[in-house]
Structure 1
Amino acid sequence: MAVLGFQLVTTLVAASVLSKIVTYFSFTRFLYDGLMRFAVPTDDQLLSAIGNHKTRNKTKKRRPEANNSGLNGDADIFYFPRTMTIPLHPTSISHIEAVPLPLYSSCQWLLDFTVCSLCVFFITEAAHSPFMPWYQVPRMANHSATATSLSNSTVSLPAMISFSTRINLSIVWLSLTVWFTLRTLLSMTGIYFRRSNPETARSDSRSSSSASGHSSSSEKDASTAEWLLVLCAGFIFLVITGFVLALDGRFFDFNLHEAYGNLTVGPPTATAAPLITWGAFQSMIALTCALIGAVYVYPGLKFGKIYLDTVNNDSTPWGKRMLLHLTFISPLFPIFLWVDPVIRHLVDFLSACQHNPLVAQQPLLLIALNLVCECLGQYLGTTRLFACLFVVILRCLTTRCNLQTYLNSAKDKLNRFNREPGRTSNREVQRLVASIFYCMNLVALQYIAPTILLLAMVCLYKTVAGLSWFPVSSLTTDMSGFTAADTHPPTATDPNFGRWISNDPSTNSDSSWLVTVSQARLAFSQFTEVFAVRAMAVSRGVFGFLVWWCLTALQSVSLLGLAYHRFASI
């Protein structure tokens, strides 16, 4: 650790765990083990349930070789009225049963990698916590004074060449988590653009019993409607993002104008040209938000359906029902923390309440109001972080409950199927029950992928924006007092450029090579400090907006799914 650095050792350990231990242990067992599903009814169970109402398939002859080979041929198909009551028997499942199902590898990899990346992040955060004895607030010192102190002191080689404290490797892990999550969401959304996918396998199997012409036309119409919904949602979210960006600074507190002003390379003067135009900057953010909103459509629709089924179930305890209600509306709390008029009026109202004579007589209430005002004022960034983490924790607590509700939907689906007129076959009933468990990994990913994306975005927002988990002075506060003359990067035409590099050895022959390399390291350190300050300002605006948009898109599509399944679905 003394040679490689603390963060690199933590990264190597996490990579070893991810490549070795997850082969024998996966965190999917905490997601699936103990859940209950309805077993697929066998032919004998169906025969005993329908009694003498069955009829054999008379269109094809019986083929004994099909039964001898263990295959289920057409001779095993029998028909009965749909109104027959078919009992379903619950059985416990484990993560081993989910391995052969589609999308299990994506679910396993996303969960395991997210856990490893979060471990690296929180270990790094704990190591750099202000409560640690070795903690030092990073600050930018005067370069001339530092150069003088370096020339008059002895510099050790390990401290001179160690860059591990300047590079936060947890950012790499969190960035990879965001990439893998977006890739998973895009792959699941791509299912609706193709015909051969797990979700449409059920409709393909059911439609095989109908006419071929009607089946192909209905499948084509359904597939077209699915990808048209994704494209329409992406366009609508693109338009909404444009309106939100136009209101920044007047209604929302994203500081995107300040972030755009720091997209420069030269000295931060009024004539410094940004790297890209303001329109291109807004377009990049809008396209990213439209992509996030488009991939959130079907996860939001599924979440609204599961939420509605859970709260409408009479057997759901009131405590669990309240937790589900809170989980559904929880994104609204951090969303309003970026709305400037709401925060301003709330702080004014709480400040007025502190001067109320009734409140002044209750010290505990007065302290609580003062604490809330401080959290919404000076420590608003920390309050936003904890509000977003509150949403993530609630969604994690209700994950297994929502998966159990989805698995229980097999019985509700069969009951709706039994209310339809006509006759059905044993194969159709078995496919209907098995399709719920067959798509379990898809539904699990549709619920946990937005949660993981939100969590990774929040952790990235905290790290790259220089925020703090605790009500202490953040890194951006310590660096906000530096002037442009102290922080702009040097250029070759700068008359002071010689002070940023080491002196000429011919004129300073008495200086050792350690001091020369130390001065070069100082020049590199001061050069990177400029980009650290600017990147912090850019990241605070961009990632703050992306975190807010993830919450807004998630809440919007959840409300859309609730409204659709409550009023529009039949």
Structure 2
Amino acid sequence: MALFGTQLIVTMVAACVLQKLGPYYSLARWLLCSSGLRRYRYPTDETLRDAAGVAKNGKKKGKQDENKDGGFLVPKSAAFELETSPVEHFEVIAFNYYAEYQWLLDFAVCTVFVYAITEAYTYLVPPKDEVNLSILWCLMAAGFAIKILSRLTAMFFRSTAGSGELEICAVSGLAYFVVSMVILVTSDELLELELEQAYDSFNDSATHFLQAHGMGSSGPASMFAFRLLLAAWSGFAGAILMFPGLRYTRMHRDCLRLCQENRPLQLLYHLSFVMPLVNVLTWVRPLSREYLAERALPSTGAPLMSGAWFESLRLWLLAATVCVRLALMPRHLQAYLDISQQKLARLRTEAGRIRSTELQRKIVSVYYYVCVAALQFVTPLILSLYFTLMYKSLGGYSWVGDPTAAPAMVAAPPPPPAPTAELDSATQHVTFTLAAVKRVFTPGFYRGLLGYLTWWTSFVMFTSSVVGSGLLGYT
């Protein structure tokens, strides 16, 4: 109990709430089924027969339809209207990826509450040797998000439709790998990711730890290997985040088309689109820190804000991006469901006929895919949010611009006790292991690594949206 203290109680209560109340009170279910979303119902056979002038026996003006099992032929320009109905929980619960969508979003909400309670507790009662269990929750939430994005991307590798998804994933992964290699060698004077300081912190602390336990070493890995590992992750993240970015861009364009008369709402949509770019630019020193926290104003002779408040501004901007996009999620999902009407309008511009079953399939397929679209919208937000929270806590930053919160980059905690024969209990073994982890993985290392992961997630979210805008404009 000395290792975890009050946080263990908070974790157990949160786990109990997630298990007992999750099926009854779910933000994921509310966003999908109680936020006013309406889906388009596919036209019935009777509606299509009336629109096409086909009799119930399959005849039209004395000519019998050739295919009895595949429906009947309908003119693509047939005039009929699609009926709408609310999105119901008993319908979507049977869709693919609904369970993953509900679990991920509900777990993410529970993690936010655990993190907020832990932050308040540590602010009021500074911990001594306690482990921050909210970091474990954040790590699991980010892991679940990566797992689901990987599963969604793997569908394209198993698909035999040959529509180009596999090629897009491969090309985007390789492109982001190359771009990340260029970024990783950029000087900190231009892009303050502080990866070299993070590597030096990790290398020094790991070397001292190994030498203290009789294992001579000059360091666990080279800087080249460290950068190569980050570049590999960057390419993987680019591949799994590309299609969510393309999906968001399509929703964004449709939302703008539907609210042409509402200028404030259009401004909010544009703001949500460019906010990842603002987050990316806060790490570009000449465009952000130099103007806001280093250059003195002529009127006051001092910078606009301190360095600590600038770090807090980064955190708040990242959190605001997630909140704005999540608030607009129902409108984006409605824009996605409206694709059924767009498909029908596009079909009516074509000449010829179409099978009734194929037409119905075109309409209903949009609704069957709504859980995947919801995951593609919300999963990058969850990944960005929990990278940000871990970056704040493990990097030693503050939400209120506290200049004493961030420790030195290469500072290391006191060395852990050497393992002896007295370490015979489970608690002592856990104590030694946690002390060793704190010794090797210093706050300076977390500030560089998690800062890069947070920045790269925002970078991919924005660039994939820009690529999607270009593709939509081209088509």
Q: TM-score, normalised by structure 1?
A: 0.73
Alignment correspondent of 2:233: 288
Q: Distance in 2 between matches of 1:57 and 1:285?
A: 64
Q: Tell whether the 8 Å contact from 1:248 to 1:256 is kept in structure 2 after alignment.
A: no
Partner of 2:220: 275
Cα pair distance change 1:265/1:341, threshold 3 Å: same
Matches within 5 A, 1:413-424: 413-424=343-354
Query: Which residue of the partner structure matches residue 171 of structure 1?
Result: 135
**Cα deviation code 1:428-469 (max 9, x no counterpart):** 221111011010001100000001111111111111111111
Match of 1:84 among 78, 81, 89: 78
Asked if the contact 2:311/2:401 (under 8 Å) is kept, the reply is no
CA drift of 1:406 comes to 0.5
- Contact 1:174–1:460 (8 Å) recurs in 2: yes
Deviations 1:132-153 (A, max 9, x none): 3xx3486xxxxxxxxxxxxxxx
Match of 2:121 in 1: 127
Partner of 1:546: 453
CA 536–434 in structure 1, closer or farther in 2 if over 3 Å, else same: same
The 5 A counterparts of 1:6-405 are 6-32=6-32, 33=34, 34-51=36-53, 55=60, 58-59=65-66, 73-74=69-70, 77-129=71-123, 132=124, 135-136=125-126, 165-195=129-159, 219-220=161-162, 222=163, 225-263=164-202, 264-267=205-208, 273-313=218-258, 317-347=262-292, 351-354=296-299, 373-375=304-306, 377-405=307-335
CA distance in 1, matches of 2:288, 2:458: 18
Determine whether 1:425 maps to 2:366.
no
Question: Post-superposition shift, 1:309?
Answer: 1.7
1:234–1:290 CA contact under 8 A, matched in 2: yes
Kept in 2, the 8 Å contact 1:266–1:488? The answer is no
- Bigger Rg over Cα: 1
Contact (CA 8 Å) 1:82, 1:423: kept in 2 or not?
yes
Q: How many residues align?
A: 456
After TM superposition, what 4+ stretches of structure 1 lie above 6 angstroms from structure 2?
A: 1-4, 479-482, 524-527
What is the CA distance between 1:551 and its match in structure 2? 0.2
Read off the aligned partner of 2:471 and give its amino acid letter. Answer: Y
Q: Secondary structure at the match of 1:91?
A: strand
Which AA in structure 2 matches 1:111?
Answer: L
Question: Conserved in 1, the CA contact under 8 Å of 2:194 and 2:448?
Answer: yes
**Amino acid paired to 1:256:** L
Is 1:5 paired with 2:5? yes
> Which ranges in structure 2 are unaligned for 5 or more consecutive residues?
none
Residues 1:557 and 2:464 aligned together = yes
CA shift at 1:475, angstroms? 3.6
Aligned partners of 2:293 and 2:107: how far apart in 1?
A: 44
**Aligned-partner SS, 2:74:** strand
- The answer on whether the counterparts of 1:379 and 1:471 sit within 8 Å (CA) in structure 2 is yes
Match of 1:448, SS state, is helix
Deviations 1:175-220 (A, max 9, x none): 1111110010000011111227xxxxxxxxxxxxxxxxxxxxxx34
| Aligned partners of 2:111 and 2:134 also within 8 Å | yes
Q: Hey, what's the Cα distance between the residues in 1 that align with 2:31 and 2:16? A: 23
**Alignment partners' CA distance in 2, 1:272 and 1:413:** 63
Change (3 A) 1:426 1:490: closer
The one of 372, 397, 418 equivalent to 1:467 is: 397
Q: Deviations over 1:298-328 (max 9, x none)?
A: 1111111111122123556222211110000
Comparing 346-355 and 535-544, the one that deviates more: 346-355
Q: Find the counterpart in structure 2 of residue 510 from structure 1.
A: none
**What is the deviation of 1:379?**
2.5
Matched, 1:453 2:394: no
Q: Whole-Å Cα distance in 2 between the matches of residues 321 and 408 of structure 1?
A: 18
1:39-92 deviation line (CA, Å, top 9, x unaligned): 11111222333346974753356xxxxxxxxxxx45xx2212111222111211
Indicate if the aligned counterparts of 1:79 and 1:425 stay in contact, CA closer than 8 A.
yes
Residue aligned with 2:90, SS: coil
Deviates more, 1:49-58 or 1:530-539: 49-58
Post-superposition shift, 1:347?
3.4
CA contact (8 A) 2:76 2:350 kept: yes
User: Which residue in 2 is equivalent to 1:410?
Assistant: 340
User: Residues 78 and 255 of structure 1: is their aligned pair in 2 closer, same or farther, counting only changes over 3 Å?
Assistant: same
Q: Residues 304 and 526 of structure 1: is their aligned pair in 2 closer, same or farther, counting only changes over 3 Å?
A: closer
**In the alignment, which residue of structure 1 is the partner of 2:370?**
440
Q: Any conservation in 2 of the 1:261–1:274 contact (CA below 8 Å)?
A: no
